[in-house]
Amino acid sequence: LAKTTQPISMDSYEGQEVNITCSHNNIATNDYITWYQQFPSQGPRFIIQGYKTKVTNEVASLFIPADRKSSTLSLPRVSLSDTAVYYCLVGDKNTDKLIFGTGTRLQVFP
């Protein structure tokens, strides 16, 4: 299966903007790109989803270039409570299976 890769970890300070990128070279043509947040001992929680260009909701923005081979989750003005692991989820065009990214551990410092 094609890999969906993310940076292993990122550090930030409260109030800064954080951008996390996911590389998905083999994304299925009709599938959306979805991002999840996971805290320790909990299941992943939906953050945002998009197909192309830019999507924004009350907690994040998602930027998707025209070729859709990557996506960037943007968290504006992070707080300590944003410390978590972030995963992207895309469909693989060869297997038609959903593949989670490798996950990015975000640590926010005061």
Name the site residues for another protein (rule: CB under 8 A). Answer: 1, 28, 30-32, 34, 36, 41-46, 49, 51, 87, 90-91, 95, 97-103
Which is closer to another protein, CB of 28 or CB of 75? 28
SS3 per-residue string spanning 42-80: CCCEEEEEECCEEEECCCCEEEECCCCCEEEEEECCCCH
Which is closer to another protein, CB of 29 or CB of 110? 29
> In one letter, which amino acid is 79?
S
Minimum distance of another protein from residue 8's CB (angstroms) = 9
Which residue is it, tokens 């469909």? 91
Which is closer to another protein, CB of 17 or CB of 97? 97
Minimum distance of another protein from residue 31's CB (angstroms) = 4
Tell me how far apart the alpha carbons of residues 79 and 13 are, in angstroms, rounded to a whole number: 8
